[in-house]
Amino acid sequence: QVQLVESGGGLVQAGDSLRLSCAASGRTFSSYTMGWFRQAPGKEREFVAGIGWDFSINYADSVKGRFTISRDNAKNTVYLQMNSLNAEDTAVYYCAATRGMVVLSIPQRYDYWGQGTQVTVSS
């Protein structure tokens, strides 16, 4: 079992930046595909960004050019650098892991989830 703990969320103003971190425990972190998802009130959980074990990367169209996902296998940590934040980015952000070999954008395909970190962007 893999345990994931997100951190770095907070309250910011539009245009500001945040960096989210996801610390993972497990013996085979480097073999997992990692993803970031978010869920706003009244909405379904949606894919934000993912990074594969081979460092392949995929982003949702809504965050391309603004968000950057990265991983440091030596630290068992995945990051999400979020720039140019706007009110539509307000959500609880979740880190997820899957043993899949490719980046997946469907939440149901992920095996492990963190508890989430709140990101609130004021206009």
Which tens digits make up the pLDDT trace of 4-23?
999 999 999 999 999 999 99
Q: What is the pLDDT of residue 50?
A: 97
Q: What is the pLDDT of residues 47-59, one digit of tens each?
A: 999 999 889 999 9
The candidate with the shortest Cα–Cα distance to 48, out of 33, 34, 38, is 38
Radius of gyration over every alpha carbon of the chain, rounded to an integer in angstroms? 13
- pLDDT at residue 100 tops 90: no
Q: What is the pLDDT of residues 26-48, one digit of tens each?
A: 778 888 999 999 999 999 999 99
The residue with greater pLDDT, 87 or 30, is: 87
- DSSP codes of every residue in the chain: --EEEEE--EEEETT--EEEEEEEE-TTGGGSEEEEEEE-TTS--EEEEEE-TT--EEE-TTTTTTEEEEEEGGGTEEEEEE-S--GGG-EEEEEEEE--SS----GGG--EE---EEEEEE-
